[in-house]
Amino acid sequence: MEAKGAPLCVQKLQRELARTQRTAQCLKILNRFLVILIFTTLFIAAYEAATFGKLRTIPTEAPSNPPSAAPVAGRKEQAHLTKSEELLEFVRQRNLFEPIPVEPRLREAPAHETKALLQNKFRLIGIVIDTSPMAIIELAEIGRTVFVLPGETIEGVQFERITKEKVMVLYNGMEMELTR
């Protein structure tokens, strides 16, 4: 690109232009690399968010009841497999396209919400004190009245103790009281 007979300042300008063009090409390549890197990072972050950060793990034990009981030609029988061979056999039999089951995350309700929910569900009508005390409870949702003994469970609520003034219940892992 340099002209032999051109003045020195023109030759310097031509060299500077060539260097600038090379730098521009390098920057263009670097820009493409960064775009690919950013999209890859976003894809990985989206995948982690979708799987709630859980990593796939391969169980250390092979399934006790393999899907195919018939021996496959060229493979050892199941009884004589080493741990690594058992793991390899498990991976071969696994369906890679089956979705991973995800356990739903349950939100723990605060105590005041739980108590309000309990009071909306059950209403203490009365208490019968006898050799075995009983509570008379109205199921508010269906309008039905039931007699409850200590230790019984109705709709996930366990009735622990029944005294003259109150009924102690266990609901969502919290002990609460029903009063009139």
Coil/strand/helix, residue 104: coil
Sign of the dihedral through C-alpha 113, 118, 121, 124: negative
The arrangement of secondary structure in 111-179, i.e. its CATH architecture, is Roll (2.30)
Sole residue written with tokens 């469970």: 153
> pLDDT band at 176, cuts 50/70/90?
confident
- Going by C-alpha positions, the residue among 155, 136, 158 that lies closest to residue 147 is 136
The number of residues making up the chain comes to 180
* Alpha carbon distance 59, 164 (integer Å): 54
| Burial (0-12, 13-18, 19+ Cβ within 10 Å), 167 | buried
- Whether the pLDDT of residue 170 is over 80: the answer is yes
CA–CA dist 154, 6 (Å, integer): 100
Strand order in 157-162's β-sheet?
Answer: 153-154, 157-162, 166-171, 174-179
Domain residue ranges of the chain, discontinuous segments joined by +: 111-179
Distance CA 10, CA 152 (A): 99
Residue 152 has pLDDT above 80, yes or no: yes
For 37-81, write each residue's pLDDT tens digit. Answer: 898 888 887 777 776 545 555 555 545 554 444 555 555 455 566
- Mean per-residue pLDDT over the chain, rounded: 77
Does the pLDDT value for residue 91 go beyond 60? yes
Query: Running DSSP on this structure, what letter comes out for residue 129?
Result: -
29 neighbors 35 (Cβ within 8 angstroms): no
pTM: 0.39
The pLDDT assigned to 53 comes to 47
pLDDT in tens, 22-36: 999 988 998 999 999
